[in-house]
Amino acid sequence: MSAISARAVAAKLLVPVINGEGSLASLDGEIAAHAVAERDRGFVKALCFGVCRAYPRLDALAAELLRQPFKKRDSDVQALLLLGLYQLLHMRVPAHAAVSETAGAARGLGKAWATRVLNGCLRRFQRESVALQAKVDRDPPVALWHPAWLLKALRQAWPDAWQALCAANNEAGPMTLRVNRRRTTREAYLERLDAAGIEASACQFAADGIQLAGAVDVHQLPGFAEGDVSVQDESAQLCADLLAPALEGRDGARVFDACAAPGGKSAHLLERFTLDLTASDIDPGRLARVGATLERLGLDARLSALDASSATLAETLGQTSDSADAAAPSAGFDAILLDAPCSGTGVIRRHPDIKLTRRASDIGDLAALQARLLDNLWRQLVPGGTLLYATCSVLPAENAEQIAAFLAHTPDARATTPDDLAWGQPAGHGRQLLTAQNGHDGFFYARLEKVAD
């Protein structure tokens, strides 16, 4: 596939995202479906992620360059303009190629008429770049590459850290690994990486974590296919540490991972502890990914496609349990992990399309869903059991405020989140990690114990 076609494909894939009707969640599959040559796939992916990452600023610059906005049916042409600006500002593509090949890509979309418009806009940007950038950067959300509602929320929540948060959100996250301690040790795996010529270092907080100096294809990782290692951010790996007091020395403990896909936390728990684990997700397709993850790692768990917020959860668990006394509601669970659906504001750097697809109004809906999940799952926990609540959000409404409200109306719940941890910062009854540049994702944890009668 030619470079021109690669740009046309990137524009097509961006259309549903910039129209708020889709995301980049299935980007790899969509790139393959467009028959993009293997040598061009990384370029298409970099274009799509890059445009989403810088979208607020690119969109403002595009508005300055156009006499009037494109109609919705020409969103692909708008996407090409954003792609051209992104290449000129942030990629090592020669400027003449960024302009001419991006403009020419309009022909691949069947819109040759747009070639002249795109050429004119991009050439004008080259001439007036400094002045145009200075003009749009007067607006803080544009200058900081964040939608206005999110920037306001971050400033209110983290008055001393919001600028660092924005900077971290605007960078690609590092590639972080989790060593499967059932098969090897972190020290031994670091030596294998070194022998393979892959620069890496131990994570600061996660005992099984390794951060790579640069991203590599997973198939280049020694022993990946055999299950020696997985890709997982350092923040996500801290889940196993927080549940350790409830699970260590308790072989066969009954554990429920309520929103398990794609399965990284379930796998880590099974690598660390000997458990009777049920992993569930509302989406059967995503649950299949959990199964694939566990199979690669040689781990075993029950898989149940179910809605953990459903009022019939207890009955569903009883029906899907293949062991009468293991996952049946009458037995309950010794520990529950609720990695709740959330805004994803702690992982924007890995999912930059969140800047386009998420709305301020989503936060209230998500908080209501999280509250239902907490209440529902609490009933499945045995007295003395532990529930770990987690989100990849940095917004208090989904985190500290959510847990405070839960504790206020749940008399048999008490928070046991440690206050002497080396990572994160206290946030009500939980612990908040803010997205760190060159470090971990943003995450929140709150550990709760069901008080025995």
- Nearest residue to 149 via CA among 432, 390, 435, 397: 397
pLDDT at position 199, please? Answer: 98
Catalytic residue among 48, 52, 203, 392: 392
> 48 an active-site residue?
no
Q: For residue 323, what are the contacts with CB-CB under 8 A and spacing of at least 6?
A: none
Specify the pLDDT at position 326. 41
Portion of the chain with pLDDT greater than 70, in percent: 96
What value does the mean pLDDT of the chain take? 94
Nearest-5° Cα angle at 169, 164 to 174: 105
**Residue 374: is its pLDDT beyond 60?**
yes
pLDDT of res. 318: 67
pLDDT at 37: 87
Binding residue ranges? 259-265, 281, 307, 339
Tens digits of residue pLDDT in 243-288 = 999 999 999 999 999 999 999 999 999 999 999 999 999 999 999 9
- pLDDT tens across 336-359, in order? 999 999 999 999 999 999 999 999
pLDDT for residue 2 is more than 80: no
Q: Could you tell me if 433 and 440 are in contact, meaning their C-beta atoms sit under 8 angstroms apart?
A: yes
Which among 123, 93, 235 has a CA at the least distance from the CA of 168? 235
In terms of Cα–Cα distance, which of 220, 219, 199, 218 is closest to 210?
199
Convert the pLDDT of each residue in 108-123 to its tens digit. 999 999 999 999 999 9
Per-residue pLDDT of 90-105, as tens digits, reads: 999 999 999 999 999 9
Q: Is the pLDDT of residue 330 over 70?
A: no
Instruction: Return the percentage of the chain with pLDDT > 90, whole number.
Output: 90
Q: Which residues are annotated as a binding site for S-adenosyl-L-methionine?
A: 259-265, 281, 307, 339
* Backbone φ/ψ region at 252: left (φ over 0), alpha (ψ -120 to 50), beta: left
